[in-house]
A and B are shown apart, each in its own frame.
Chain A
Amino acid sequence: MTDVPAPASARPRRLIGNDTWVIARRGLLHMRRQPEALTDATIQPIMFVLLFAFVFGGAIAAPGGGSYKEFLMGGIFAQTIVFGAFGVALALANDRTNGAIDRFNSLPIARSTVLGGHAVASLLKSLLPIVLMSITGLIIGWRIHAGPAQALAAYALMIGFSFAMIWVGVLLGSLVSTPEAVQGIGFVVIFPLTFIASTFVPAHTLPEPLRTFAQWNPVSTLSASLRHLFGNPGGTLPPAGPWPSQHPIAYTLVWMAAIVLLCAPLAVRAYQRTIST
């Protein structure tokens, strides 16, 4: 080999962050070039907003007599954020089935780089649907009735929860071996989880035991927190009822922290185990 640059080992090691960003950039390119993935992140959330607003909007009354479209938005945001776990799980499962993980692991990079890159890409990807849904919501009549600080807090909460869901996705993508299996589990577990909640209807309209489940479901409290922070219908905190309903933000933050503290180490371990065999 004649056209030799200085061997890699002679170069100063750069920050792990640079390598992570290289992998993250790849993840973002993947989204742009995969029509299905792009659809999941763009058309699907917009479609959900429009469908629920116009199909169910006439039949479902928002609590407190407000606009159902405004009630809906907090729920749609929450559902889309939870669905975000799919994306990273699918990306990891794809990397494992097509051998990309082996390629990366034969390169002189830290073991955490690939996982970190996927996490960063997923977090950035999760911003796109949030922005698009906000715009769609504004067009159909959703408004932020609270101050800028509270609105910012709402968006920060969405990003924080997206971050937590990434680790659920990494865990799922590490435990399940194929992209098809990821989709199967996602549909059977995550999909119902977002419906047995106050996502689309007020929890008190559900029959027992679904009502209790919905009241303690973090998807409900995330929806309620967003409604509360945006000043939307359904955001008024009830004077009585289970603790999560009365303190949705605190309850949601506890879940966020618990998911990160529990899922992240488990996910990293599961991932390391799957790649080393």
Chain B
Amino acid sequence: MSEANAIEARGLVKRYGEKLALGGFDLDVPRGSVCALLGPNGAGKTTAVRLLTTLTAPDAGTARVAGADIRTDALGVRRAIGLAAQDATVDELLTGRENLAMIGELHQLGRRRARTRADELLERFSLADTGRKLVKDYSGGMRRRLDLAATLVAEPEVLFLDEPTTGLDPRARNELWEVLDRLVSEGATVLLTTQYLEEADRLADDIVVVDHGREIARGDASSLKRDVGGDQLHVICAREDDLPEAAALLERATGASASVDRSARSAAAPTAGGAATVAAFAGELAARGIAVEDLGLRQPTLDDVFLTLTGLPPEDAAVLADARRPEEALR
């Protein structure tokens, strides 16, 4: 075990009956870094988190979290981690403050210290006003923030966040990202799972793309995007007649061949030129009087990543994976 790694997993295997949820999974997460497991539903992300947080035991392989072995020292692992599971498992019938204080007491903080700690965290997560209300009256975003606060009660060395923003509206998601940004800048080690490349890009140093229980790619966001082809410059014409000319201009501006969708009146081409290319292209369009409905740079999405890496769009990959993971359907 290298001291530099907060999480170190080797060859983790987990089967549920006949189904292989994780098939030989390796992971290194350096201390103070943020790693994102990126993949569709049923790819094995949650299984990896459940194994690393000792909620379930691996069928093969080994891992150390904060120096503690997940198979032989579960208590040591649990003392060092905070887990925010997929559906914000805060207690609806308790107040926000009671939730945090209870977890503090179960972390052996003592009753008084647990309450002080609860108040600190409520303050920090902008929940001070609602701390004495029952959680069942919280919004989705407030629940997630409380859930995140709950993972921090005992100052864990390693945080596990399983799809922290799934189900949130864009505003609540942005708020949560800001909270996570702050945590990360304070030096927390975080393993998060997500279905959104944008989220992984925004929060993580390293991204591990997972599919069918295996790692299929690894790298930082820019290297993954390079694999996928980088940003796309796209245009939607107001009139279909202009589309061929617009596509020709697009190819000249980007120096790459454009894909044209006639029914959507759109054309797109990869570019590394950024804003300058967009400006030049926009100038050309304006000079020829081509009316445009939409124009801009589009980041590659998880769809693009999966299309490139597996040759399957993620929906198909997810359907396949769901068929292999019946226990996910039961949840």
Contact = CB atoms under 8 A, between A and B. Distances in A.
A99 interface: yes
Interface of B: 16, 53-57, 75-76, 78-83, 85-87, 89-94, 98, 102-103, 105-109, 113, 117, 120, 134, 150, 152, 154-155, 183, 186-188, 327, 330
Contact of A7 (B53, B103, B113, B155): B155
A88 B162 CA distance: 29
A108 interface: yes
16 contacts: A4-B155, A8-B154, A19-B105, A23-B106, A30-B93, A33-B93, A102-B55, A102-B83, A103-B83, A103-B85, A103-B103, A103-B150, A106-B55, A106-B85, A108-B79, A277-B16
Nearest to B81: A106
Nearest to A34: B93
Given A98-B89, A108-B106, 6 more contacts: A1-B183, A7-B154, A8-B108, A11-B109, A14-B108, A98-B92
A106 B79 contact: no
B93 A9 contact: no
B78 A106 contact: yes
A100 interface: yes
Contacts of B55: 102, 105-106, 276
A10 to B, nearest CB: 9
Given A1-B186, A276-B57, A9 B83 contact: no
A5 B109 contact: yes
Given A19-B106, A276-B57, A26 B78 contact: no
Interface string A1-27: 111110111011110001100110110
- Size band of the interface chain A makes with B: 35 or more
Contacts of A100: 89, 91
A107 interface: yes
A254 interface: no
Given A1-B155, A26-B102, A99-B85, A8 B91 contact: no
Nearest to A2: B186
Nearest to A18: B105
A108 B193 CA distance: 23
Contact of A26 (B94, B107, B120, B154): B94
A104 interface: yes
A3 B116 CA distance: 12
A261 interface: no
Nearest to A106: B83
A2 B124 CA distance: 12
A109 interface: yes
B106 A107 contact: yes
B107 A107 contact: yes
Contacts of B183: 1
Contacts of B113: 5
A4 B188 CA distance: 12
A3 B55 CA distance: 28
